[in-house]
Structure 1
Amino acid sequence: MEYNHADLFEGVADAIGDRVAVVCGDRRLTYAELDEHANRLAHHLESAGVRPGQHVAMQLYNGVEYAAALLAALKIRAVPINVNYRYVESELLYIYKDSDSVALLYDVEFEDRVAATVPEAPKLTHLIAVGGAPSIDGAVPYDEALAAQPGTRGFPARSADDTYIIYTGGTTGMPKGVMWSTEQMLLAFWNPTFPRPEKPEDVVDLARNGGPMIMMPIAPLMHGAAQMATWIAWFMGATLVYARKFDAAGIWRTIEREKVNSLTITGDAMAIPMAEELARGGYDTSSLLAFVSTGAILTGTVRDRIQGLLPNTMILDRFGSTESGSTAEATAGSTPEKGLKFAPDVENVTVLDDALQPVKPGSGVIGQVARTGYIAHGYYNDPEKTARTFPVVDGKRWLLTGDIATVEEDGTIAVYGRGSQAINTGGEKVFPEEVEAVLKGHPGVYDAVVTSVPDERWGNRVAAVIQPSGERPSAEELDAHCRKELSGYKVPRVYAFVPEMKRSPAGKADYRWAKQVAGEADGG
């Protein structure tokens, strides 16, 4: 057995085959049933000519098929590729070609976009349609693909160095494929409440001895956070519950029906509608022990509201990235409004200054959060970005996360925001996350994204795109609200109001869109 996700899942399935592995809607598969399901898909991919090291793309909503596709690709030593299902044709063509995918599983709901794009991606030669009969010539219906193959294994030996890729980003540019070895990924995203395994068999023992935990990641599986939550759940021997699409009422009904113990979301964009729905009442949440945000931080007002609605549930903020794994947890009372502080819960996490040297605790020196040890090994098809992001210092390879921070006297890391999103106005740096958090504290603001517009005198001015909550607040109201919490140079000078905020399916802000909207509001 290797530190390989397919090896480990098969070991877990052999140990606890009768335990329920995945639930989505009215579908329930045990570990043994899911393993057999994935075996059939893996054999189909082999029969279609997919070979070790080749890439299999997944343009799917959450469900059993996505879970099986991840497993099937890894079983034959192929590489899973996540595709954002909201992408339009030009974006799809980019990711099909950039990823060098040779096969694609897609929901038939996306068939028009797939049909228009696939002919321009010559390497993408095999299509599997999920959820209905395809109209694309040569595409194979998912159920037929499985029915023609055996449910047994019989796959070649795998390696701990097999590749796993997660495409990430896209808020300021096109996404990049983050490359991991399966061993490094497993250990980087290991559940910090358990000691890391000393050998692969320890993972199977943990699952075998695990209790009947029910875990539910809300983010779409095309986002790395949901994929990692999936593996964490399975390697604990837990039952994994998916929602096919994000629907706050449906999620609370599922939590009540399945007695979910741990819920994972990504930030305010999911937390706010879930809190509003929960406030309407009528849901039994007594089973819920933990409400975890990962991939995006909860603002203080949103966190407090959720805690008030779920007084007996732990509310946790996790810090990390697709490139670094899960690295830290927000300290008590830490919020973007008051100052975001994290306590590292893994080794080899620090802040490096401009000379790529560790920042001395309490010095006040500003640098970037960095990690060494268990980290990704680069970006697919982008050696230049790989070299910039993963420098070697004194023989040690580091990941520079792009998060601007310093180290406090007690060793906690105070994070100011993403360097790539920082706004330079008159020589002062403004981090959008801080301003967004303050704006969301106004009762008339449902959601906010902060960006900049050009300014002849100051270089840039702070601008805010606002989705109102009910009656639209005036710019004067928002200005007065912000000035109570922020220095004058951080207060937005431009407000643009929109009926609905544009975010990724995982809740991440679309800063390119926000900059365009703010520019139009400014008359640019």
Structure 2
Amino acid sequence: MSHLCALVRARASIAVSASGVAPLDSPSSDPARYLHCATSGSGGEPKIIRRTQSSWIDSFAVNGRVLGLSSRDCAAVFGTLAHSLALYGTLEAAHHGARILGLHGLRPDRQLAALEQEQATVLYITPTQLGLLCAQDAPAIQSTRHILVGGGQLSDRIATDAARTFPNARLIHFYGAAETSFVSWANDTTPLGSVGAAYPGVSISIRDAAGHETDQIGEIWVKSPYLFDGYAGGQSADTRWDGVYLSIGELGRLDAAGNLFVVGRKSRMVTISDINVFPEEIEGFLAATLGTGSVAVLPLPDEKRGHRLIAVVAGADATMSEHDLLVLCRQTLGPLRAPRRVHFVAALPMLAAGKPDYCTLTQWVEATA
């Protein structure tokens, strides 16, 4: 981390990967400073994001103003620098002169102890990491003012537990990606199921298959000063540009007040008996029903219907049996969207980014099917 801060102070272009931090060669004719970092790779091999440093610095200024960030803060990050959320939190804290508390690799109880000891004021964390943290039986942390949660769906149960563990904190659930940075963020007035209204400076356009704006579910396109420049390594067929607008292949809708509802990723959408099904919707329902943020829904091939869904759940309240849960899913979601099996496990295999490792989970489910 000290090496990263030294490169920032030297105004160097930077490459951050799982192997470490290094200066990045850039053409002498290009005055811009760049940052290369990896995506989390939940569904496959990580890709290398190329962005100008100013694209993040612009949002540092927004957050500094809205959240009151300063050198008096202590910012805690829970992933490695190879994870874009942890890297963003580290660089934003350094930009404002705040102390940086790296907690990757520690057990949740020790993370809580470190937060208390260091009087952490700002957390950059995924829903799964927050759920594990708030499941601990420990005194409330009074010092924390803001919790920025990104990288997945946030269940009401985890939000409630976070309010108990961090009673003085404002919980900010935001939606975005390594390619887009912030797209939207939620507040106390955000309706249930929404990821909030557009982040300052961002324009969101929902378009149908023909490219026309729609008030129905469509592809999410974003215009923003915080977008990446392209991939320095790897590619994604879902990532496309239309002028200044960018899509990463996710679908959603906007309500009349401008609140964004994300349905899921096009690449994860599957067809079951000619019906389009989004595993993210089922994950959200199971997370809310069982009070956990550790849920993965996986599609397996099915000769008759095209696909069948298998759910894997960790850290849930064990008062509901698999049979009862499947009955509830069929009643609420319908027979086609309901999982065929639910596996309860102690913990999901996780990536360093704090997200479920869908590739490893799929291999495990296929082996147990």
TM-score class, shorter: 0.7 to 0.9
Q: Which residue of 1 aligns with 2:273?
A: 426
Residues in 2 aligned to 1:331 and 1:73: alpha-carbon distance in whole angstroms? 32
Q: Tell me if 1:501 matches 2:348.
A: yes
Q: Tell me if 1:375 matches 2:234.
A: no
Measure how far apart 1:373 and its partner are. 3.8
Amino acid at match of 2:186: A
Matches within 5 A, 1:91-102: none
Measure how far apart 1:489 and its partner are. 2.1
8 Å contact kept, 2:157–2:292: no
* Pick aligned residue for 2:89 from 221, 229, 232: 229
Q: Which residue of 2 aligns with 1:464?
A: 311
Provide, for residues 475-517 of structure 1, a one-character-per-residue CA deviation record: whole Å limited to 9, x for no partner: 2022134345433322101233444311112221212222222
Taking structure 1 as reference, are residues 459 and 304 closer, same or farther at Cα in structure 2, changes over 3 Å only? same
Q: Tell me if 1:175 matches 2:46.
A: yes
Q: SS at the partner of 2:81?
A: coil
Residues in 2 aligned to 1:306 and 1:374: alpha-carbon distance in whole angstroms? 29
Provide, for residues 203-244 of structure 1, a one-character-per-residue CA deviation record: whole Å limited to 9, x for no partner: xxx98xx45122212222221111111121122222222225
Q: Tell me if 1:344 matches 2:198.
A: yes
Taking structure 1 as reference, are residues 465 and 240 closer, same or farther at Cα in structure 2, changes over 3 Å only? same
8 Å contact kept, 2:151–2:176: yes
Higher share of residues assigned helix: 1
* Pick aligned residue for 2:98 from 238, 241, 246: 238
Amino acid at match of 2:113: R
Taking structure 1 as reference, are residues 264 and 444 closer, same or farther at Cα in structure 2, changes over 3 Å only? closer
Q: SS at the partner of 2:124?
A: strand
Matches within 5 A, 1:11-410: 66-69=1-4, 71-72=6-7, 75=10, 77=12, 79-83=14-18, 105=20, 161-188=32-59, 190-192=61-63, 194=65, 210=70, 212-267=72-127, 269-277=128-136, 280-281=137-138, 283-332=139-188, 338-354=192-208, 357=211, 359-360=213-214, 363-382=215-234, 385=236, 389-392=239-242, 396-410=243-257
Residues in 2 aligned to 1:263 and 1:429: alpha-carbon distance in whole angstroms? 36
Taking structure 1 as reference, are residues 275 and 158 closer, same or farther at Cα in structure 2, changes over 3 Å only? farther
8 Å contact kept, 2:140–2:165: no
Taking structure 1 as reference, are residues 420 and 469 closer, same or farther at Cα in structure 2, changes over 3 Å only? same
Q: What RMSD, in angstroms, separates the aligned Cα atoms of the two structures? A: 3.1
Measure how far apart 1:72 and its partner are. 3.1
Residues in 2 aligned to 1:80 and 1:302: alpha-carbon distance in whole angstroms? 34
Taking structure 1 as reference, are residues 284 and 272 closer, same or farther at Cα in structure 2, changes over 3 Å only? closer
Percent of residue pairs identical:
20
Amino acid at match of 1:220: T
Q: Which residue of 2 aligns with 1:63?
A: none
Q: Which residue of 2 aligns with 1:477?
A: 324
TM-score by length of 2: 0.86
Q: Which residue of 2 aligns with 1:414?
A: 261
Residues in 1 aligned to 2:362 and 2:263: alpha-carbon distance in whole angstroms? 21
Measure how far apart 1:175 and its partner are. 0.8
Provide, for residues 287-330 of structure 1, a one-character-per-residue CA deviation record: whole Å limited to 9, x for no partner: 12222212223112221222234333222201111111122112
8 Å contact kept, 1:452–1:518: no
Residues in 1 aligned to 2:185 and 2:293: alpha-carbon distance in whole angstroms? 26
Residues in 1 aligned to 2:109 and 2:181: alpha-carbon distance in whole angstroms? 31
Q: Which residue of 2 aligns with 1:488?
A: 335
Measure how far apart 1:254 and its partner are. 1.4
Measure how far apart 1:264 and its partner are. 1.8
Which deviates further from its counterpart, 443-452 or 162-171? 443-452
Taking structure 1 as reference, are residues 300 and 161 closer, same or farther at Cα in structure 2, changes over 3 Å only? same
Measure how far apart 1:348 and its partner are. 3.8
Measure how far apart 1:354 and its partner are. 4.1
Amino acid at match of 1:322: A
Amino acid at match of 2:73: M
Report which structure shows greater RCO (CA 8 Å, sep ≥6).
2
Larger radius of gyration: 1
8 Å contact kept, 2:154–2:293: no
